[in-house]
Amino acid sequence: MFLLKAPPPTTKPPAPLLPEAPQNLAADPLMTSATISWNAPPDNGAEIMGYRLTYGTLDNPKTNTLTFKRSKTETIVDGLESNTDYLVSLVAFNDDGESPVTEVALLTEEGMSKTCTFKDLFYLCNLY
């Protein structure tokens, strides 16, 4: 008589431990730049490696991507066009993947005309 052994139970690999979305994403726009800040999210048991920030105009929102170390929770984005709407997206990432996306829209301040002359500036300064 032969005894048959049952095959060993198969074990599923553990589910990936993804961080939660960064919290309190905020944008403080100026004329051609903006300060972007956020709070670190819970890591759900796996260390956050860093953040990936993507920004662009509403017509082309994924134009620029910046990557930061996990200790960074604020940056200044330069080279923006004045009086323009932008969309900023941010994810936290670890070895298992990325968090859900968190987003904020911003409108840069309206600037002076690019054809403004020194005489115009002198006049404006003397108004005050």
Count each helix (H run) and each strand (E run) in the chain, helices first: 1, 8
The average confidence (pLDDT) of the chain is: 85
Count other Cβ atoms within 10 Å, centred on residue 30. Answer: 14
Where does the pLDDT of residue 1 fall: very low under 50, low under 70, confident under 90, or very high at 90 and above? low
State phi, psi for 104 to the nearest 5 degrees: -145, 145
Instruction: Report the DSSP beta bridge partners of residue 89.
Output: 54, 103
Count other Cβ atoms within 10 Å, centred on residue 28. Answer: 12
Q: Is the pTM of this model over 0.85?
A: no
pLDDT tens readout for residues 64-116: 999 999 999 999 999 999 999 999 999 999 999 999 999 999 999 986 544 44
Token code pair at residue 44: 């759900």
Domains and CATH numbers, the chain: 23-125 (2.60.40.10)
Helices (H), 14-68: none
